[in-house]
Amino acid sequence: MKEIVSPPSPPPLVHNQYESVRQLFSRNVVPSYGRFDLVLSHGAGSYIYDVTGKRYLDLGSGIAVCCLGHAHPAITGALFEQSQKLIHVSNLYYTEPQGRLAAELVKRIGPGKCFFANSGAEANEGLFKVARKFGHDEGRFEILTATNSFHGRTLAGIAATGQDKVKKGFEPMTPGFRHVPFNDLAAARAAISPATVAIMIEGVQGEGGVTPATPEYLLGLRALCDEKKLLLLMDEVQCGYYRSGKFLSFQRILAGTIPNSELRTLNSEFLPDGISLAKSLGGGFPIGAFWVRAPYADLLGPGTHATTFGGTPLACAVALAILDVIERERLDENVRKLGDWMKVELEKLATKYPHLVKGARGFGFMLGLELLAREKIPALATSDKPASIQFVNRMHQAGVLTIPAGTQIVRLLPPLNLKPQEAGEGISRIEEVVKLLG
Ligand SMILES: Cc1ncc(COP(=O)(O)O)c(C=O)c1O
């Protein structure tokens, strides 16, 4: 292997470019994001630096993306090596990395096939098309999704997402989506109409506030979909790819319910009909994918679905390198062990500071600290910003990146290779910030 160029280190004298970068954005970038006041420049492992040289422990991982942290040599190496061979060819041709990555995903999920896209929203769009194709000849097209779900920002993505705030101003919505309460099997059954063709849920709702599906709900939905001839689609874009401590979130949720559940999924005791992936799949390099179960794997025949950049040799080489590190270093065990420890520590905060912290949510490296409502916390009550955003800002001051969800939840989505002492550092910084609230 050729010498790998190491990630750029900060210049000896770091100037505060904050204001100039901000101005570039305000003049030239569509203001569709509510950004925090940080200009980030480089990272290494679980740490990231801003342009002033300040270091932050990154417990957000770019919203569950940088699964190996920043500037990981396996990713840099794969980018370097593959970019010297072949970055892109059209999907008019075959390439080995795409075929190998598809085989690795199929091996871990179950009999079926994969399609590669560039983002989570696009992976979900593909599953919507699979569902429409499946029901087309019977005139069925409607997909049920959950209240508080999040499925992306494309037109179909916002129609599928069960949150009004993403739809507002973009009506009329793409037809064919209806929302049902999450974890409520009876409501799903009652909502099925003659036009219904599929049900899509997240294994753990992420943007909605770190809410896992219950085992009964998952098993019940599978049975319901079988009974009514519906496809069961799972959006594993955020909660999948080892974030739960298992490859897919439903494997963690069902562990203990179905003994040895990883193996049983392959024997189709519980297997969805379609699964979308993105985020951690590329560790920061954009790639999304959907897997579709064997009986439906050829529904999208030649000419029915495509994307120019889907599954480039470069993206797939990076994804293969990441998968290799995760498995070789048994990062799934790290996520389960450290994640369980962090959850207990967050729960302790709720016991110690019941006037500030309501509880802890989630599992693995998809955790949520639930704060009390802003009005109930005097230190936060005077601002009109949600408690979650104010807390995340205070965490920045304390040198830690976390991600808000909804108005009261602060998400921790650390890299899968987080070290025990980094987890400890994160928890103590969180406690410091909680303490300062009063
Ligand atoms: C569960 C879920 N689905 C889909 C998406 C959309 O993914 P992307 O932003 O890559 O389009 C997200 C993004 O946060 C997500 O959390």
| pLDDT surpassing 50 at residue 43 | yes
Dist. CA 252 → ligand 1 center (Å)? 20
346-350 long-range contacts, Cβ below 8 Å, gap at least 24? Answer: 346/427, 346/430, 349/430, 349/431, 349/434
Predicted local distance difference test score (pLDDT) of residue 17: 82
Tokens of 95: 């390439």
Give the global pTM. 0.95
Please say if the pLDDT value at position 8 is more than 90. no
Percent of the chain exceeding pLDDT 90 equals 92
**pLDDT band per the 50, 70, 90 thresholds, residue 261:** low
Note the pLDDT tens digit of each residue in 235-248. Answer: 999 999 999 999 99
Cis before 172 (ω within 30): yes
Task: Tell me how far the alpha carbon of residue 238 lies from the centroid of ligand 1, in angstroms.
Answer: 6
User: What are the beta bridge partners of residue 410?
Assistant: 369, 404
Q: What is the pLDDT of residue 12?
A: 47
Report the run of H or E that residue 44 belongs to, with start and end. Answer: strand 40-44
| Residue 369 vs residues 82, 365, 430: alpha-carbon distances, Å | 40, 12, 9
Task: Give me ligand 1 centre to Cα 125, in Å.
Answer: 11
Long-range contacts of 81-85, Cβ-Cβ distance < 8 Å, separation of 24 or more? 81/1, 81/2, 81/317, 82/313, 82/314, 82/317, 82/318, 83/314, 84/2, 85/313
Q: Is the pLDDT of residue 283 over 60?
A: yes
Distance from residue 152's CA to the centre of ligand 1 (Å): 5
Atom of ligand 1 nearest to the CA of 207: 16
pLDDT of res. 264: 47
Residue 272 pLDDT grade (very low, low, confident, very high; cuts 50, 70, 90): very high
Dump pLDDT digits (tens) for 365-395.
999 999 999 999 999 999 999 999 999 999 9
136-194 pLDDT, tens per residue? 999 999 999 999 999 999 999 999 999 999 999 999 999 999 999 999 999 999 999 99
For ligand 1, the distance from its centroid to the CA atom of residue 297, given in whole angstroms, is: 23
pLDDT in tens, 329-362: 999 999 999 999 999 999 999 999 999 999 999 9
Nearest atom, ligand 1, residue 236 CA: 1
> Per residue in 49-71, is it b (16+ CB within 10 Å) or e — as a string?
bbbeeeebbbbbbbebbbbbbbb
Q: Which H helix or E strand runs over 220?
A: helix 215-228
Query: What is the reported pLDDT for 215?
Result: 96
CA dihedral 278, 282, 287, 293 (to 10 degrees): -50
Place 271 in a pLDDT band, splitting at 50, 70 and 90.
very high
Ligand 1 centroid distance, CA of 379 (Å): 32
Nearest CA to ligand 1 atom 7: 120
From the CA of 121, how far away is ligand 1's center (Å)? Answer: 6
- State the closest ligand 1 atom to the C-alpha of 152, by its place in the atom list counted from 1: 6
Residue range 5-27: mean pLDDT, rounded: 74
Q: Which of 12-16, 258-262, 413-417 has the highest mean pLDDT?
A: 413-417
What is the distance between the alpha carbons of residues 414 and 342, in angstroms, rounded to a whole number? 11
Q: Residue whose CA is closest, atom 4 of ligand 1?
A: 151
Ligand 1 atom with least separation from CA of 238: 16
1 CA → ligand 1 middle, Å: 35
- Atom 16 of ligand 1: nearest residue by CA position: 238
Ligand 1: centre distance to CA 140 (Å): 26
The pLDDT of residue 256: 74
Pocket test for ligand 1, best of 65, 116, 237 (most atoms within 8 A of CB): 237
The SS3 call for residue 243 is coil
User: What pLDDT, on a 0 to 100 scale, did the predictor assign at position 205?
Assistant: 98
- How far does Cα 76 stand from its chain's mean position? 22
Q: Return the residue whose CA atom lies nearest to atom 13 of ligand 1.
A: 152
Residue to mutate (ligand 1; options 145, 149, 202, 238; most atoms within 8 A of CB): 238
Which of 63, 149, 151, 155 has the most ligand 1 atoms within 8 A of CB, as the residue to mutate? 151
Q: What is the mean pLDDT of residues 198-215?
A: 98
How far does the centroid of ligand 1 lie from the alpha carbon of residue 268, in Å? Answer: 26
Amino acid in position 84: Q
Q: Please give all residues whose beta carbon lies within 6 A of any atom in ligand 1, as ranges.
A: 63, 119-121, 124, 150-152, 202, 206-207, 235, 237-238, 278
Per-residue pLDDT tens digits for 284-337:
999 999 999 999 999 999 999 999 999 999 999 999 999 999 999 999 999 999
Mean pLDDT value of segment 201-207: 98
SS3 139: coil
Give pLDDT tens digits for 108-146: 999 999 999 999 999 999 999 999 999 999 999 999 999
The CA 126 to ligand 1 mean position distance, Å, reads: 13
Least confident of 10-24, 195-209, 256-270, 287-301: 256-270
In the reported structure, the alpha carbon of residue 207 is separated from the centroid of ligand 1 by a whole-number distance in angstroms of 9
pLDDT at 11 over 90: no
Mutate to test the pocket of ligand 1, among 65, 118, 150 (most ligand atoms within 8 A of CB): 150
Run of H or E including 387:
helix 387-397
pLDDT tens digits for 55-106?
Answer: 999 999 999 999 999 999 999 999 999 999 999 999 999 999 999 999 999 9
Q: Parallel, antiparallel, or unpaired for β 231-235 and 196-202?
A: parallel
Whether the per-residue pLDDT at 15 is higher than 70: the answer is no
Q: What is the DSSP string of 184-213?
A: -HHHHHHH--TTEEEEEEESEETTTTSEEP
The whole-chain average pLDDT of the chain stands at 95
Atom of ligand 1 nearest to the CA of 119: 10
pLDDT reported for residue 23: 94
| Residues paired with 145 in a beta bridge | 179, 200
What local confidence, expressed as pLDDT, does residue 266 receive?
45
Rounded CA-CA distance 211/363 in Å is 10
Say how far apart CA 350 and CA 343 lie, in whole Å.
11
